[in-house]
Structure 1
Amino acid sequence: MTDAEDAESLLVRLVGPAQRIELGLDRMRAAMEHLGIPENLPFPVITIAGTNGKGSVLAYLEALYRQSGYRCVAYSSPHIWRFVERLRVSGAPLPDQRWQEKFAALASLAEEIPLTYFELSTLAALSLCMEEAPDLAILEVGLGGRLDAVNAIDADIAIITSIDLDHQALLGPDRESIGREKAGILRRERPVIYGDRESPCTSVLTAADQLGAPLYLLGRDFDLDSEGHWRGNGLRIAAPPPISDSVVQRNNLALALAAVYQLRARLPQAWPPAERWRFAPKLVGRSQWLRPWGESRPRLLVDVAHNPQAVRALAETLAGQSGRIMACWGMMADKDLSASVASLRAKVDAWALLAMPDLPRAASPAQLRAQLPGADVRCEISLIDLPELLQRWAEELSGADVLLCFGSFHVLAALPSEWFDNAS
């Protein structure tokens, strides 16, 4: 380990880049056994899977438990600017040095067992969790569910936020197949909270029934009404407000509150919830409005939305905007590009298409342009030049206009982190 090497550089040197994906739990379970990490951790665990909404639900849970006085560990992926964002203890990332020390200690194990980037990250995170001895761990699934490294842990509560088409090459061609993979996080006789209100997947319902896992479905068993009250189990409880007044965020908060209710016997201080946030939920890049150029210049809307369901929700966020909308779009080529952008075509006045030459999976500007016949495509630029383009456009637009950046976590990461200091 060199003096200049940070934790992620060490991780890549040990196991290779994040782009290498090999689903399966055998390697993870063997490594956990070697380290003495049990499948049932000595504190409650909530595992979150789903196509969209995982990060929001995790942020709500983290805030709800923190403001109740519990020491909470939250593990999520991917990070945006710094690797240490992936693991938070009481809302704060652990120092990079802690990760470096942990990866160095696991180096010989990584030589013995061919772990991937995400597997070794998760293994190190679990080891750090054990050292921190929290009151609760909240773990976000990286990809799918059944064969994801996080699923090596037996959760006390499973949350499936939503199921839509994404990662079909790995998870299956349709919602039912994808739902079956995500239902792999369920455990026998342990509660599952599911958020597909209108069209729940039969594969999820069947898996819960076969495991005797009590299933609580959004809209049927619990909900968060427009007046801000959580309803479930015959109760009507005043709740803190969602991150934004949208149906999507009300649903995500409802899911988090349902989990808190189910764990109330073990963590009783969190129920009922406070009506106001003491620690506001922190969620970067999910329909997030920014004002990096002040009130007289356009607002910046950023969203990591990278599948049809997520972009439809983004389009709803833009409903009613009276000014011009200028969009910067970059996305991975293995996404459904046409379906993903369909809900935005009529809303956007002009486009910039983003090239990501360092990412082999990324769609080229030509591939993106093919989804926008007849659209006003102003330019094709490299991702590294995105801040400069936004600055130039901001000088040409007014406070009524909107600059939109969406399509990938990589798009968000190209923006200066200080712009997010003025998030609204």
Structure 2
Amino acid sequence: MTAAPPLNGSVDDWLAWQLTLHATEMDLGLERVGRVADTLGVRDLAARCVVIAGTNGKGSCAALIESMLREQGRVGTYTSPHLWRYNERFRIDAEPVSDAALCDAFCAIEAARGDTSLTFFEYGTLAALWLFVQAGVDYAVLEVGLGGRLDAVNIVDADVALITNIGLDHVDWLGPDRESIGYEKAGVMRAQQPAFCCDRDRPRVIDAHAKSLGAKLGCIGEAFDITQTNGRWRFVCGEKTIECDEPPGVITDNLAGALVSVQAMTGAWPTTATIDKACREQAALIGRRERVDDILPIIYDVGHNAEAVAMLVCDLVNEPTTGSTHVVLGMLADKPVEAVISNLEKVADRFYFASLDGIGTRGLMAEVLARRSEIDAPCFDHPRAALEAALDAGEAGDRVVVCGSFLTVAHARRQSPS
């Protein structure tokens, strides 16, 4: 193993080195990362902390909660993956941290870990906690990377746990069905602490696990609910009712989960002005059913499993175009390719398959997508090339959809953030 980068090493130097530090890309478990966290002194955050687990909607809920909490104090937010820059994973008061701050965090972790081997994600999780301690944030919003029970984020005892939609993803790691996966997600709950679930068809194991722990579980449709009528939504939790114009681009069940989490964190309900601001900010997130007007309208969506793509398809059906829909698709090998393509076939007039094998460690070649889909469609060696072909082929009234992976969106999208 090569030595760690020098004190003046770049973020890219550190990240390249971290990829060599552990024998495998993923190694679920809390013992190693917890031991280093204890040495660093970052396991017990002074900040009030919410941990968000689930298959889809984690990033949206994190953004909503982050925005609403900023009305109450300093907020540190940790999410993954990123689109363009690793720094995007770590935000303090909604701003990505600097390269210098990240390198300081990496140096502190290296000084603390001794001979303990860490995965890339574990190293990043420890960096997030160290950064938030150094910044003295009042609130920490932590998004689980994979699962929950054995994910590195779960070394922190959450003051509030939020479980979003449960779908079939990472089945090789989490189990073959929603009950197995739900059990892993439920592992972020803590005894005598509030926990919320905004999946209307939640696996029953979540209730059973909450009962066995003594967690204070509240679920959408029971402890709280949100409904939509004539362009407005109405949220109800006990005697509290909040009404507002329907937020464009926001999944209201995610909003309901964010609202109860913020109230549990702060003891107060956000104002309608605060909620409206949070919704507008979340709707503007890059790559989340994001529309960009180019030669043709382009919809970018990072959804990479059947449930997420089904929501995208629902949106496309509800907002039909007068012409054709061109779908640019690139995916990772461990994702449900056939189920995703089956959903997209409901709206796609033409596919353009993009290779990710030269971009991500688990990326599929375009030809593999074509073979598994049994669709006669052109194949391209890069998402940008596939997008350019779709734009060239399109006519007035058409639209282009770019989806299937964070990597597909990141490498196809024309404009990078400033």
TM score, norm. by length of structure 2: 0.90
Amino acid at match of 2:415: E
Q: Is the 8 A contact 2:40 2:112 kept in 1?
A: no
Tell me what 1:13 maps to: 17
Task: Identify which range, 409-418 or 21-30, moves more after superposition.
Answer: 409-418
Partner of 1:343, secondary structure, is helix
Partner of 2:187, secondary structure, is helix
Q: 2:215 aligns with which of 207, 213, 216?
A: 213
Q: CA deviation at 1:65?
A: 1.6
Q: 1:397 aligns with which of 385, 394, 397?
A: 394
Q: Is the 8 A contact 2:39 2:113 kept in 1?
A: no
For residues 280 and 46 of structure 1, what CA distance do their matches in structure 2 show? 19
Amino acid at match of 1:217: C
Tell me what 1:44 maps to: 48
For residues 99 and 246 of structure 2, what CA distance do their matches in structure 1 show? 33
Amino acid at match of 1:337: V
1:23-422 equivalences under 5 Å are 23-39=28-44, 41-66=45-70, 68-197=71-200, 199-226=201-228, 227-239=232-244, 241-244=246-249, 249-265=251-267, 268=268, 270=270, 274=274, 276-277=276-277, 280-281=281-282, 282-291=284-293, 293=294, 297-319=295-317, 320-358=320-358, 359-373=360-374, 375-377=375-377, 379-383=378-382, 386-416=383-413, 418=415
Partner of 2:122, secondary structure, is helix
For residues 3 and 31 of structure 1, what CA distance do their matches in structure 2 show? 20
Q: Which 5+ residue runs of structure 2 have no aligned equivalent?
A: none
Partner of 1:219, secondary structure, is coil
Amino acid at match of 2:96: P
For residues 239 and 215 of structure 1, what CA distance do their matches in structure 2 show? 26
Cα distance, 1:269–1:202 mapped onto 2, change above 3 Å: closer
Partner of 2:252, secondary structure, is helix
Amino acid at match of 1:276: D
Cα distance, 1:410–1:418 mapped onto 2, change above 3 Å: same
Partner of 1:220, secondary structure, is coil
Q: CA deviation at 1:36?
A: 1.7
CA RMSD of aligned residues (A): 2.3
Cα distance, 1:139–1:26 mapped onto 2, change above 3 Å: same
Task: Identify which range, 79-88 or 218-227, moves more after superposition.
Answer: 218-227
Q: Is the 8 A contact 2:379 2:386 kept in 1?
A: no
Amino acid at match of 1:300: I
Q: CA deviation at 1:243?
A: 4.7
Q: CA deviation at 1:323?
A: 1.7
Cα distance, 1:346–1:239 mapped onto 2, change above 3 Å: closer
Partner of 2:363, secondary structure, is coil
Q: Is the 8 A contact 1:242 1:253 kept in 2?
A: no
Q: Is the 8 A contact 1:51 1:166 kept in 2?
A: yes
* 1:281-312 deviation digits (Å, cap 9, x = unpaired): 35221211111x2xxx3110111111111111
Q: CA deviation at 1:367?
A: 2.5
Task: Count the aligned residue pairs.
Answer: 405
TM score, norm. by length of structure 1: 0.89
Amino acid at match of 2:333: A
Partner of 1:145, secondary structure, is coil
* 1:92-134 deviation digits (Å, cap 9, x = unpaired): 0111111012212322434521011111111111011001111
Q: Is the 8 A contact 2:48 2:140 kept in 1?
A: yes
For residues 13 and 331 of structure 1, what CA distance do their matches in structure 2 show? 26
